[in-house]
Amino acid sequence: MKARQSTDSQQASPDFAVEWQSACRVVDPMLLSHRYQFLFIHIAKTGGTSVRGALQKYRWRDPYYLPQFIASKMSGWVNHEVGIKLPRHCKAITAQEMLPREFYEGLFKFAFVRNPWDLQVSSYHHIRRERPHLMLEGESFEHFLRRKLDPARPWQYHIDTSITPQSDYLIDLRGEVIVDFIGHYENLQGDFDHCCQQIGLPTTVLPHKRKAEDRTSYRQYYSEETQALVAQHFAKDIELFGYQF
């Protein structure tokens, strides 16, 4: 099934204790509502925190929220080694495999995507602001981008999440889109309003979470070479979602 899309289209050495605490902390699970029959696929740095903030209040009205909350806590207590929850940034294919097929198919499944060049600038500011231990001293955007995309770099969750193709969150093993609606960050409020209408909730003004106050237009961060690096790495996203530099 093809989803509908909106038309608007020096080596770092992070402290081990910080990394371990970050990896093992209890985080919110995937946003799944039995009462309102929806599943939100939260792709990092696409406005998802604002969407979650607007929909969070409805969780308490869901009869399954308490079991989900307990499972999330239990998962954190055992370092997420027992597979009892769908994590916050879970891919659609994981939910499809773990949930009963008929239940999954009956959900309104939606996600938001973002221009890959803009997303990488947002990721740079986000990590510099909230996880500075992952940055090198005075590291520029270009250096950080090249380091992120270096295949020899050791895996790191927060860095690698931001360079995972967004389309990977929305497709099955055959490459088919398995969500019902793909909204665009560039039309976040309008597309969110559409999702609210689909699931029978009143529209609400989205809060702007984690906004970077010290950035300029994403195009000013790029040279021709770094622009091409992003174009190559995210070629599938650029084609599928219709993005241009």
Q: Which of 161, 155, 124 is nearest to 140 (CA)?
A: 124
* Grouped pLDDT means (10 residues each) for the chain, 245 residues: 59 42 54 92 90 83 79 76 75 93 96 98 94 94 96 92 96 96 97 96 83 82 98 97 96
pLDDT of residue 124: 96
Neighbouring residues of 141: CB distance < 8 A, sequence distance ≥ 6: 121, 124, 221
pLDDT of residue 115: 98
pLDDT of residue 56: 79
Q: Please give the backbone phi and psi of residue 104, each rounded to the nearest 5 degrees, phi first.
A: -60, -45
Query: Would you say 55 and 40 are in contact if contact means Cβ atoms under 8 Å apart?
Result: yes
d(CA 189, CA 112): 11
Neighbours of 44 (CB within 10 A): 20
**SS3 label, residue 243:** coil
pLDDT of residue 24: 39
What Å distances lie between residue 181 and 32, 87, 143, CA to CA? Answer: 15, 20, 35
pTM: 0.81
Helix (H) or strand (E) holding 24: helix 16-24
Query: Would you say 108 and 179 are in contact if contact means Cβ atoms under 8 Å apart?
Result: no
Name all domains of the chain by residue range, CATH numbers in brackets: 14-241 (3.40.50)
